[in-house]
Chain A
Amino acid sequence: MIGALAMPALAVEQQAIVVRQATVYANASSTAQKVGQVGAGTRVSIFSRKGGWKEIFSEEQAVIGWVRSYQVREGNFAPAAEIQTASDSRGFLSGLALFSRKASSFFKSDSGSTSSGTATIGVRGLSEDEIRSAVADPAELEKMKQFASNQQRIDGFVRQGKLSPVTIPHIEN
């Protein structure tokens, strides 16, 4: 039955991992019927998205249904060795930085706990000391201003991206 349910959706399936224990609902609503639970570290497939919800299938726990979007993380979870040598389309990313980002210790382990290693390879991050002791670079600021957008550029950008503004009131904190 589960197999039959999963089959038609395989074309749009994406691999993901449950990052915190999640209740699985029959529909994308917390008032919908609860159909099960998936624990942190469970590998799932994502079929579709709706609002803050993702429709998942877990072969391991034989459950199909909807969980909160932030409870699962999408991505390719191949073994670490494979990831490190994988080609990447990000041209401006240096090899070392890529290694740092993809190093297995960079992410928490799949079970949700933290692995012991830290990723220190690659370009260093902006440390607290570097921020405090930075010497201003006015030339770089002028360069930044040159990339600023304007109304003419935005019109094309919005049209191409099929973006339309929506009127929404702010939510009170």
Chain B
Amino acid sequence: MKSLLQLVLLLSLALAPVVSSTVFALDLGDLKKQLEKTRQKIDENRQKLDQVRGKVSISEEIEIGGNLVSGLLGAAPLVDDASLQRYVNDVGFWVAAQSSRSELPWRFGVIDSQGINAFAAPGGYVVVTLGLFNLLDSEAQLAGVLAHEIAHVVRKHHLKALQKTMKRDFWTSLTVKAVSDGEDRQKLNQLVNAGVQLYASGLDREYEYDADLHGVVLAARAGYDPYALLDVLTTIDSINPESEDLTVLMKTHPPTAERLGNLARKMDGKMDAYASGRVNAGRFRQLAKNP
């Protein structure tokens, strides 16, 4: 028995240089250290990925938005009325100037569609349909509608939605390469296609409530009556919901009555001090309705 033990001891000594790494790796304390190191590396990589995922540069954002709006304009062109388009741009520019992203190249337009809707695209693009525009009675109401869309851009709601839609490896390779790169252009097109689907399927309902509330504050900051958006929603709520003009809006937004209820609750007591803001119904009628 003793000799057997001696033999084992001798063998292990002789083999020590060969198996030493295995022997040490089996040491429990060391194993823990190794695991910890690996875990740290994984965490670091994950953080790096999260930093780039969904992040696009401002120029990429404008490029994506331009492509999205170009598609909307392909479906419904701008209303052929330069003074109307300029007026809507002035109101929108002024409201956007009160936001945290005033530096974006903000562009607004009224498109020739009787559908009642408005769309925002990353990078500072906003379009309102003629159907919705015709429901408005004042500049403050127009400001309220534009402010809701501006809020979508400021809060990057579309980019956040795309971040969720596209897989992680999509984002890592997008930011590594330059936009002019052919392969990356293909990726940009993929993003635009996903964005178009968002217009048809809608954003998270939470984003819509957020844009309502954020928009009301932006309109008030611009000196307009913040309650004007509630008036617009009241008008929309009074339209026959079976009307084809409302189909897309109803599918992509929370029920109008719930939006009204939510806004009224959240604004309660907080906006009364600013309710004496401008309505500018006269200028609206003069500039928007007498081309």
Out of A73, A125, A136, A153, name the residue touching B67 (CB < 8 Å): A136
Q: Does B171 contact A (CB under 8 A)?
A: no
Task: Check B172 for interface membership: any CB of A closer than 8 A.
Answer: no
- Cβ A107 vs Cβ B291 within 8 A: no
Question: By the criterion CB–CB under 8 Å, are B266 and A171 in contact?
Answer: yes
Q: B258 at interface (Cβ–Cβ under 8 A)? A: no
- Asked if B145 is at the interface (CB within 8 A of a chain A CB), the reply is no
Within 8 A of A (CB), among B91-113: 92-94, 97-98, 105-109, 111-113
Q: Is the CB of B237 within 8 A of A19?
A: yes
Determine the chain B residues whose CB is within 8 A of the CB of A122 once the complex forms.
Answer: 114
**A12 sits at the interface (CB 8 A):** no
The answer to whether A51 and B275 touch across the interface, beta carbons within 8 angstroms, is yes
Within 8 Å CB of B276, what residues of A? 51
A97-B114, A131-B196, A163-B224 given as contacts; is B239 within 8 A of A108 (CB)? yes
- Chain A CB within 8 A of B179 CB: no
Report whether over half of chain A's contact residues are helix, strand or loop; otherwise say mixed: loop
A68 sits at the interface (CB 8 A): yes
B221 and A73 contact, CB distance less than 8 A: no
Asked if A52 contacts B230 (CB within 8 A), the reply is yes
Near B by CB (< 8 A), chain A positions 86-111 give 89-93, 97, 100-101, 105-108
Contacts of A163 in B (CB 8 A): 94, 222-224, 278, 280
CB < 8 Å neighbour of A141 from B70, B75, B239: B70
* B251, A128: Cβ atoms closer than 8 Å: yes
A107 touches B240 (CB 8 A): yes
Q: Measured between alpha carbons, how far is A144 from B77 in the docked complex, in Å? A: 10
B70 touches A173 (CB 8 A): no
Sorting the interface of chain A by its residue count into under 10, 10 to 19, 20 to 34 or 35 or more gives 35 or more
Among B74, B238, B270, which residue has its beta carbon within 8 angstroms of that of A137? B74
Cα distance A98–B244 when bound, in Å?
Answer: 15
Q: Which of A51, A114, A125, A162 contacts B245 (CB 8 A)?
A: A125
Tell me which residues from 219 to 248 in chain B have a Cβ below 8 Å from any Cβ of chain A: 220-224, 227, 230-231, 233-235, 237-245, 247-248
State how many angstroms separate the Cβ of A119 from the closest Cβ of chain B.
Answer: 5
Q: Taking the nearest CB of chain A, how far is it from the CB of B189, in angstroms? A: 10
Main secondary structure of the interface of B (DSSP, over half): helix
**Interface status of B203 (Cβ within 8 A of chain A):** no
B115 touches A126 (CB 8 A): yes
**Nearest CB in chain A: distance from B50 CB, A:** 24
Q: Which of B74, B196, B221, B272 contacts A140 (CB 8 A)?
A: B74
In the complex, how many angstroms separate the beta carbon of A125 from the nearest chain B beta carbon? 3
Q: Which of A106, A118, A140, A173 is B78 in contact with, Cβ under 8 Å?
A: A140
| B114 contacts A140, C-beta separation under 8 Å | no
Assuming A52-B227, A70-B230, is B70 touching A136 (CB within 8 A)? yes
Cβ of A166 < 8 Å from any Cβ of B?
yes
Task: Determine the chain A residues whose CB is within 8 A of the CB of B233 once the complex forms.
Answer: 70
Assembled-state Cα–Cα distance A34/B82 (Å): 49
- From A91, A107, A126, B129 is in contact (CB under 8 Å) with A126
Do the beta carbons of A161 and B283 come within 8 Å of each other?
Answer: yes
B64 at interface, CB cutoff 8 A = no
Q: Are the CB atoms of B196 and A144 closer together than 8 Å?
A: no
B182 smallest CB distance to A (angstroms)? 18
CB-CB nearest in chain B for A105:
B240
Q: Cβ of B227: which chain A residues have Cβ within 8 Å of it?
A: 51-52, 69
Q: How far is the CB of A166 from chain B (nearest CB, A)?
A: 6
Task: List chain B residues, Cβ under 8 A from A160.
Answer: 283
B274 in complex: contacting residue of A136, A154, A166, CB < 8 Å: A166
B255 at the interface (CB under 8 A from A): no
**Could you tell me the distance between the alpha carbons of A101 and B235 in the complex, rounded to whole angstroms?**
12
B62-94, CB < 8 A from A: 66-67, 69-82, 84-86, 88-90, 92-94
Where the two chains meet, the residues of A that have a C-beta atom closer than 8 Å to any C-beta of B are 19-20, 30, 50-52, 68-74, 89-93, 97, 100-101, 105-108, 114-115, 117-120, 122-128, 130-132, 134-138, 140-141, 143-145, 147-150, 153-154, 157-158, 160-171, 173
Residues of B within 8 A of A (CB): 66-67, 69-82, 84-86, 88-90, 92-94, 97-98, 105-109, 111-117, 125, 129-131, 134-135, 137, 139, 196-197, 199-200, 206, 209-210, 213-214, 216-217, 220-224, 227, 230-231, 233-235, 237-245, 247-248, 251, 257, 260, 264, 266-268, 270-272, 274-278, 280, 283, 285, 289-291
